[in-house]
Chain A
Amino acid sequence: MSTTTVAHHDEHHDDHPTGIMRWLTTTNHKDIGTMYLTFSLVMFLVGGSMILGIRAELFKPGLQLMNPEFFNQLIGVHALIMIFAALMPAATGFANWMLPLQIGAPDMALPRLNNWGFWILPPSAILLTLPFTLALFGVGDGALATGWTFYPPLSVQGGIGVDFAIFAVHLLGISSVLGSINIIVTIYNMRAPGMTLMKMPMFAWGWLITAFLLIATIPVLAGAVTMLLTDRHFGTHFFDAAGGGDPIMFQHLFWFFGHPEVYILLLPVWGFIPQILQTFSRKPMYGYKAQVYSLWSIGALAVVVWAHHFFTAGMPVPALLYFMYSTMAISLPLAVLFYCWIRTMWKGSMSFETPMLFTVGWIILFGIGGLTGLVLADVAADAQYHNSYFVVAHFHYTLFAGGIMGIMAGVYYWLPKMTGHMYNEKLGKTHFWLTAISFNVTFIPQFFVGLAGMPRRIPDYALQFAEFNMISTVGAFVLGLSQLLFVYIIISCVKGGKKATDRVWEGAQGLEWTLSSPPPYHSFTEQPVVK
C-alpha cells in the first residue's frame, strides 16, 4: 500500500496565481472562453475602426485622407483581423464556454493545450498590426498591401508587411489547430454517459465539422504562405512565372483553404442558431437528423468548390462547369437547413427577446448573402461581378450578417448564463435595430455600385458612384458607433443587473441551463467549515 497525492494542510492555500498570472496560466475552460470572447470583441473594434477609415476615404470621389498604398493596407488587415481575430475566436470562445456544459464534461479534454491555443492569438494580432507602427518610425512601408488573399506576384514583391503577415498567419493557424484538436478530442471522449453522437447538441455538431475542416485545410494555408516566404527570401520560384513557377497555383492553394474557411466561420453559428430558435419558439428543433446530415454535406462540398473564387483567372471550360455546378449544389443542403430553421419557428409560441431578434434578422440577412452567392457561382454572370463591389456586399451579408450577427445572437443568448445577470433588454433591442438597419444602409448600395461596375479595393471612383458611396459611408459609421452600445451592454451586464435564473429563458433546452447562472465557479470564497 502506498500513499497517493498527499499534501500537508497549509501548502496549497495561497499558491494559486492572482492578477495577470491567473489569466496567463488558467486552464479553466470558462476563463479561456472569456478570454477568447474578450479578445474577439476588442479585435472587432480594431478591425472596424480600420474600415471606417476606408469608408471615410470613399465618402467622396477623389483622394482625401490617405494614399492608395495605405488604403490597401487597411483593407487587407481589416479582413485578416475580422476573420482570424474577431470571428474565429468568438466561435472558439463559445466552444470553450458551452461545449463542456452542453455535453456534460467537467472541462475541455486538454486544458493546458487550450491555454496555449489562446495565448498565441495576441502576439499574432500584434504581428499583423505592428508594421503600421514601424512605418511611423520609418521602418518598412507599412502592413501588407495585397488584400487578405496574399496573391503573388504582388505579395512576392511587397515590403516587410507581407513577412509580418505570413508569420501572423502561421501563429493564427497553430492556434486554430490546437483549438480544433482540443474540441475534437473533447467531443469524442468527454460526452456524458448516454449522450451518443446523434444525441449531441447541434452546436457540438457544428463545431465537430468545423474542426475537421480546419485540420484538413490549415496545412494548405501554412504550406502556401511558407512557399511565399521562400519565394521572397530564399530564391525559390514556386509562384514566379519567370522562374518556371505558377502564380495561379497560389490561388488554388489559398482558396483550397479559403473557401472551407467561410464554412469554418459559419458552421459553429449554424450549430447554435437552431438552439436559440427552439428556445424562443418553445418547441423542439425541427429535423435534427436532417440538419446534421446537411452540415456534413456542406462540410464535404466545402473542399471541392474552391476555384469559384477565380473563374476569371482562366480555366478549361469543363473545370468552369464543374466548379459552377458543385458550388450551386451547396445550396441544396443549405435549403434544407433554412427549411428546418423556419419549420422550428412554425406555429411555435414565439417571443422576441434580443437573441431571437438577432436570430430572425440573421436568417433573412444571411439568406440574402446565400442567394447573392448563388448568383456569383454562375460562371457567365461572374465575369461581370468578379472583383466588383457586388462581391464585397455579398460576402459582408455572409460574414457580417451570417457571422458576426449570429455571434451577437449567441452573446445575448448566453450572456445571462455566463455572467449571472440579465442584460438590459431595451438597450439590446435598440442595438439590434440599429445594427440591422445600418448594416443594410451600408451594404445594399454596394450591390448597386457593384452591378454598375465599381471595382473593389479601389480608393477613388467614377462620379456616377458618388451618391451610393456616400450613403454606404453614413451607414457604416452608424453601424460602427452602434457597436459601442453593444460594448456598453456587455460591460454593464458583467458588472451587475437583474439576477438571472438558472434556466434564463422559459423555453431553454439543454444541459447548460440546468446549471446555476453563472455555472458553479467562485462558490467557495470562504473556506467551507470542516464537517
Chain B
Amino acid sequence: MTLGQRRWMPWLYLLPALGLLITFTYVPVGNMLLYSFTSWDGLDVTMEPAGLDNYVRVFTDERYWRVFLVSGYYFAASFVQIAIALYFAVILSFETRFRNLFKGILFFPYLLNGVAVGFVFLYLFQPGGTLDTVLGGIGLGEHTRFWLGDPDVANISLAGTSVWRFTGLSFVLFLGAIQSIPGEVYEAAEIDGAGRWHQFRHIIVPGIRRIISLSFILAISGSLSVFEIPFIMTGGANGTRTFVVQAYETAFQFRQIGLASAMAVVLLIVVLIVTWVQRRLVPDEEVQLT
C-alpha cells in the first residue's frame, strides 16, 4: 500500500456516514438560519430578506409564544413520569413476585405506535367514554368533564397521555442503572442497619445520578418537541397547540417557511442551552469514544 492510498482510505469508510450527516443535519441547520431572516414561502425563486421580523413575531404574537406555556404542562408531567418510574424501578429491583410480568407491563406502552396511543386515549377521554364510566363507577361521577374539549383540562389530559406513553422508557433506564450497582453495597448497608429509605437515598440515588440527570434533559427537550399526541388527539384545538404543531402548520399549511424556520431556530437554541447547562452541572465523565 502506498502512502497516498493510506491517506484517503479512512475517508472512504467515513464517506457515507459523513455525507448523510452533513446533508440531513448540518445543511438543514444552516439553511434554517438563512430562511429565518427571510419571508420565503418555500416556492419563490427569490427570498425576500426580512431582517429580524420573524423573530420579533415569534416573541410578540401570542399564537407563537403561547406554545411555550403548553410545553410547561408536558415538562411538569415529566416530573410525575420520573417519580413514578423511579418508584417502580426501585421496588422491582428487589425480590418481588411476578417481577418480569410487572416489568413487561410497565415498559410495554413505550413500544406502541404513537398514532395507536393517540386513538387509545381519544377513546378513553371521549364523553361517556372509559374514563367517565370508571369515574361514575367509583362514585366520582360529578367530576366528569370534556377531557379534550375544555381548554382548562385538555393539556392536562394530553400530558397525562404522554406520561402513560413514556414512563416505561424512564423505568427501564432506571432499572438498568440500579442493577449496575453491585449487590454487596446493599449487603454492607444492611449490616450497618440502613433501612430501605436510607439505601434509596444514600446508595441508589447517587448510584444512578447520571441517568436521572439524563432523564431531565430528555424531559426538557421532549416537552419542547411534543408533536404526535396533540396533533393526533386534538389537532392542536382548545389551546393544545405545541411548538412543533404550530411550526408544522406555519411551514406546511400556511407556507411561511421563513417564520417557521425562526421558530425552529428558537427551539434549537433553547435545547442547546439546556443541554449545555446540564453538561456543566453534571459533567459526563464517561464519554471516551476512541
Whether chains A and B associate is: no
Measured CB to CB, the residues of B under 8 A from A are none
